[in-house]
Structure 1
Amino acid sequence: MRRGAGNKLPDRLKGVAFGVGVVLLPALALAATPEPKTFRDWMAGCDNGKTCTALSLPPEAAETIAYLRIERAAAPESAPRLVLRLRGEWKKPPTTVQLKLDGSPFPPGGKPLPVSSDGDVATLTFSAEDTAALIEAARKATKLVVTAPGGTGSISLAGSVAAMLWIDEQQGRIGTPTALIRKGANATVPPAPALPVVTAAPTPPILDMKAAAPQARLLRAELTKRNPDACEDDPDLVESDSAWPLGNKRILVALACSRGAYNLSSSFFIMPENEPAKAAPVRFPGGEGHDGNELTNASFDPRTGHLAFFAKGRGIGDCGVSGGYAWTGERFEQAELATMGECRGIAPDDWITLYRSRSR
């Protein structure tokens, strides 16, 4: 059977250089929107609805992780949202932080700014006034330092202006009053593209383990007969096989085919109940493998019909690719996709979104 997965990155993590490896973004997303771009110490990207994000990249050896995140929707009236994250080992979570911009207090006067804390991460959400002031200051400033009781982080502004200018270009704002960087008198901003609508279909109640296991065993035996090298048969992997009813006597089967230190790759099939010879691979948009039916660290929720995946670039999960698909009753359609190509301690919720859909 197939061997040697070890700690190798899955296919969707190969192609675009990043911290500990490389990322290959699914073709569907790249066809709809430009891939993320790096501007010195910043990264920026947009999704298929032209909502764009810019992130500062913490130094690779930083003890205290601090970064800025700017997000802006494409609609002409949409305002930028700027947040700061500070991760530290707090004895007591901070309630305020203080900022210095190239050594000078920001905002002027040095007032403490309130933060919210969730575990080891403190979040500062900037006001519209402070957002505008910091964007303007970034034209000349080089570094923002954030201090909280028990932790200090440094954020480079090198590349921030270029990243925001790129966002203005993607959204058609250059030369308009709403541009982040290159403002002008032109009042016309293109409307946001319409997002695709995905109608997810809940599935029948999940099979219990006694009922699920035979379906997966039947399919695994059938695939082994067709191609002994298609899927590893390690006992630990076989225990991770899963199956769910999709209705109309159809079964969704996930066969665990390879495992590394932190990534489990599974192949997905739809088969008529108890008829493994008629099983067909699920053709995921952007899926891995020869048949496009492989996903990494995947989980299916039959209550919502949502199938999520999370391909980690390294064990702590601060880089890689995440996304999901919705079962419509007939097929799986892409619902969302996000990526982070640099392993710098940035939480998955802050990764750059490349694809979104609307649920119905």
Structure 2
Amino acid sequence: MKPHFLFWPLLAMSALGHAQVPDEGLQFSHKDWDLACNKTDECLAMGYSPGDGIDGVSLALQREAGPDAPISGYLLYADIKAEPPVVPVRLMIDGADLGELNQDGDTSFSLSEDQVEALMGRLSGSAEITFVDRQGSSRTLSDAGAAAVLIKMDELQERLGTPGAAIRKGDENEEWVPRPRPRPPAVEHPPLVENRPGDAQLADDPALRQALAKTVNTLHPCPDLEAGNSAKPLTIERLDEHRLVVSTQCSANSFNTATGFWVVEDRPPYLAQLVTEAGTQFDRRYAQISSWQLRRALGDCQLHSYWVWDGMRFVLSYRNGYNRCRGFRYGAWSMPTYLR
């Protein structure tokens, strides 16, 4: 299994203060590096090969909140059109051999603590960082933007000036670094009521389609909802005794189909509430709407979200809001900036 879908653990609560990541999470980018942090105050810094090519590498540096939290390092080779490396793969910094990486998969690797420490000491300057396989094929990691991203991570986790800081180390007391916040408990959904014989017939009511259309604006279009004789059919699933989830295709292209989802009452005037105009499917088993939207046809970047029915509304429970289109299948790293 590819390791780039990193799981964000449930972390213990502390009586000390917390770091500064907002509840909705945070994303930050500078040059060839990105940062994603979520409400547990865990952060993931990601760097790429220079340029916009699709045959490079990406490095992820992951760190939890809290005193003395280590930084873990992971490497991925682009895997859609690029050739996989011939193992072993070695880390080279300014020509110095820092040793072999641990192989996790055909194109995925992890770094040792010593290799991560060596990297951290050079990312704030101007270093030549390469990964070389057994056949001598070399991939360069850009350090452009790394310092800004790592300083931002230290700032959000309130580590600036401590021995555990990634960049600006100092002698401040490491125990003052805020502990992680716990991830809220998962949304629990009630049992759904089975569909009734008359539910599907509501799809033929023009008033229902009109109620859906009133919730859509120009910023979130759904052109296939009102397309005259070519309007897409409505799909209806019952949620409870008086509410339904209604869906229909909103738009489509060669690599994506965007489906709109609404919660409506089961009789006029329906009182429709839009959940998303860019969903993918509704899963009755988990009372969950999911959205997987590719950002381009190559399939190397995507937007990914989940909403769970809590008995009153669909609650956003997960959002992977951004990843770069650089030749990695579905994007190099999972970046859940929002967690619930």
Q: Normalising by the residue count of structure 1, what TM-score does the alignment of the two structures yield?
A: 0.72
Q: 1:301 and 1:161, CA in 2 relative to 1: closer, same or farther beyond 3 A?
A: same
Corresponding position of 1:265: 258
Which stretch has the larger CA shift, 316-325 or 168-177? Answer: 316-325
Residue in structure 1 matching 2:163, options 177, 199, 202: 177
Q: 1:251 and 1:190, CA in 2 relative to 1: closer, same or farther beyond 3 A?
A: same
Residue in structure 2 matching 1:135, options 113, 120, 127: 120
Shift of 1:56: 0.9
Preserved contact between residue 289 and residue 306 of structure 2 (Cα < 8 Å): yes
Counterpart Cα distance in 2 of 1:205 and 1:97: 54
- CA displacement, residues 151-187 of structure 1 (integer Å, 9 cap, x when unaligned): 5422111221221111000100111122111122222
Corresponding position of 1:69: 60
Matched, 1:242 2:235: yes
Q: 1:61 and 1:169, CA in 2 relative to 1: closer, same or farther beyond 3 A?
A: closer
Corresponding position of 2:103: 115
Which stretch has the larger CA shift, 141-150 or 41-50? Answer: 141-150
Matched, 1:50 2:44: no
Counterpart Cα distance in 2 of 1:226 and 1:86: 44
What aligned pairs does 1:12-23 form with structure 2 within 5 A after superposition?
none
Aligned residues: 307
Shift of 1:60: 4.5
Matched, 1:307 2:307: no
Shift of 1:333: 1.4
Corresponding position of 2:142: 156
Preserved contact between residue 212 and residue 242 of structure 1 (Cα < 8 Å): no
SS in 2 for 1:278: coil
Shift of 1:67: 0.7
Point out where structure 2 has 5 or more consecutive residues left out of the alignment.
Answer: 1-20, 215-221
Q: Give identity over the alignment, percent.
A: 22
Counterpart Cα distance in 2 of 1:138 and 1:263: 38
Point out where structure 1 has 5 or more consecutive residues left out of the alignment.
Answer: 1-29, 283-292
Amino acid at match of 1:354: T
Corresponding position of 1:232: 226
Q: 1:113 and 1:343, CA in 2 relative to 1: closer, same or farther beyond 3 A?
A: closer
Amino acid at match of 2:151: L
Q: Which has the higher contact order (CA 8 A, sep 6+)?
A: 1
Corresponding position of 1:82: 73
Shift of 1:57: 2.9
What aligned pairs does 1:207-218 form with structure 2 within 5 A after superposition?
213-215=200-202, 217-218=203-204
Counterpart Cα distance in 2 of 1:126 and 1:232: 53
SS in 2 for 1:318: coil
Counterpart Cα distance in 2 of 1:146 and 1:206: 55
Q: 1:298 and 1:211, CA in 2 relative to 1: closer, same or farther beyond 3 A?
A: farther
SS in 2 for 1:340: coil
Counterpart Cα distance in 1 of 2:25 and 2:71: 20
Preserved contact between residue 232 and residue 258 of structure 1 (Cα < 8 Å): no
Shift of 1:317: 3.6
Counterpart Cα distance in 2 of 1:174 and 1:65: 31
Residue in structure 2 matching 1:340, options 316, 322, 329: 322
Counterpart Cα distance in 2 of 1:236 and 1:148: 54
SS in 1 for 2:226: coil
Matched, 1:356 2:339: yes
SS in 1 for 2:152: helix
Amino acid at match of 2:307: Y
